[in-house]
Amino acid sequence: MIESLIVFAVSLLIGALGIFLGARIIVDTEDYTYAFVTALIGAVVWALVGFFLGWIPLLGPLLVFVAYLGVINARYPGGWVDAVAITIVAWVSVLVVLYVLAFLGVTGFEAAGVPGT
């Protein structure tokens, strides 16, 4: 149980780093704590919407992703285009960090707070 919490916390920190970098590049905000809370909310929304609607073929995963984008859109200035851009930068940056950590044998290839990682 404790190991699972540690893995979740570390993956959430990595996910928050991705959102922080995305928000810094796209909307010029520099608050890691805000990104951490956003990643936590995003992970919870992703899990809940995925649980209730994710099973619907084709539409379910799209609804889950739109719900996650809604969190980013609600938490950061700009509109939906900026939310998509923040998410893309977050996803790419998290992939790079996870690849390096996995290559070094530190962690697996997944992070909470950023979908698809």
pLDDT digits (tens, 9 = 90+) for 24-82: 999 999 999 999 999 999 999 999 999 999 899 999 999 999 999 999 999 999 999 99
pTM for this structure? 0.85
- Cα 24 from Cα 86, distance rounded (Å): 9
pLDDT reported for residue 27 = 96
Out of 1-10, 56-65, 108-117, the most confident range is: 56-65
